[in-house]
Amino acid sequence: MITVEALTKTFGPVRAVDGISFELAEGEALALIGPSGCGKSTTLRMINRLVEPSAGRVLIDGVDTAGMPSATLRLRMGYAIQGIGLFPHRTVAQNIATVPRLLGWPRARIAARIEELLDLFGLPPAVFARKYPHELSGGQQQRVGVARAMAGKPAVLLMDEPFGALDPITRTRLQDEFLAIRRRMGTTVLLVTHDMDEAFKLADRLAVMEKGRIVQLDTPEALLRRPANAFVESLTGSEDRGLKLLSLAGVTGLLGPAGDWTPAEDGAFRKAGAGRAHAPVSASATLREAASRLVFAGVTELPVVDEAGTIIGAIGMERIIAFGGGDR
């Protein structure tokens, strides 16, 4: 558990960060989001004391970090940045070993950890362990950068625009991979980003920052439904926030009875009394995907099937619209 209390940084007369407080639970992912200059990076860098706070406290499991030597503190916090900063003169394995070595892990444990992380990030150790950073693609370098940040099993992983320098396709793929890895490992993450979609995708909660203060700290759904002010509303995208809302929830929560639907040819289903058969929606689909399917098929309801292809219910436009209207 990381507790941030009234963290403040002043540069001369400028309050770059102005009394920020939040708590980060074990295994939670929190995103600091806002336009450039809002103080989100400074906040992150005060937590591992790359920037000394002017006031306020950071506690790990209730212990004030101000008393710890900064190097010791940083060894307990992973750090991944947009520039990656892999050591060009060291191999992938040596890069990942950086923090475990500083922590004085035995050799065998370091080797096992390198292997585990490379496997986790889809970089077969036999191929990649001995490569040098310049032999890797941008996406591979960033994977190694994040793996290196996670190597010492940090209490929290601090990430500053970690996927910012990648092309959109690679970025999306890395976000998906990272999300899966985070869920599997239960990593606690503090993420700085200016990309709302990335924050929605990767974080459990978002702290929207403006001019050094947190304007609203909430779940993605609450941010979309109840923006605290016009700034948050504009940041979350007022035009397409209905669709964003739909992408946050899966179809399984809104299933109606499957009664009317009967199996037809090729895994499709036909509604009683209707002429055309329709391919079903997968149970893992988001409401956004389901809505898209409904619009495209030109119907108000589609069957939903599990992985085995068995029908488990139906998703209808009315329920989706009702979800969008939600509790407000």
> Using CB under 8 A as the criterion, which residues of the chain lie in contact with another protein when the complex forms?
48, 50, 70-75, 78-79, 81-89, 98-99, 102, 132-135, 145, 148-149, 158
| CB 39, min distance to another protein, A | 18
Shortest Å, Cβ 71 to another protein = 5
What values do phi and psi take at 303, rounded to 5? -75, 155
Looking at residue 66, the DSSP 8-state letter turns out to be G
Nearer to another protein, 39 or 133 (CB): 133
Least distance between another protein and beta carbon 258 (Å): 52
Helix or strand or coil: residue 228? coil
Long-range pairs for 20-26: beta carbons < 8 A, 24 or more residues apart: 20/56, 20/207, 20/209, 20/212, 20/213, 20/214, 21/56, 21/214, 22/207, 22/214, 22/217, 24/156, 24/188, 24/190, 25/1, 25/188, 26/1, 26/186, 26/188
* Residue closer to another protein (CB basis): 11 or 87: 87
| For another protein, the closer CB: 86 or 320 | 86
Nearer residue to another protein within complex by CB, 158 or 199: 158
Q: How far, in Å, CA of 114 to CA of 92, rounded?
A: 9
Terminal-residue alpha carbon distance, the chain: 31
- CB of 115 vs another protein, minimal distance in Å: 20
Output 67 or 88, the one with its CB closest to another protein: 88
Record the tokens describing residue 258, joined without a space: 């499957």
- Whichever of 165 and 264 has its CB closer to another protein, that residue is 165
CB of 83 to another protein, least distance (A): 3
Contact 5, 57 (CB under 8 A): yes
Q: Where are the beta strands (DSSP E) in 126-279?
A: 156-160, 189-193, 205-210, 213-218, 261-263, 269-271, 277-278
CB closer to another protein out of 154 and 212: 154
CB of 97 to another protein, least distance (A): 11
- Closest separation in Å from C-beta 130 to another protein: 11
Rg (alpha carbons) of the chain, rounded to whole number: 23
Amino acid identity at 41: S
Structure tokens at 181: 């890895």
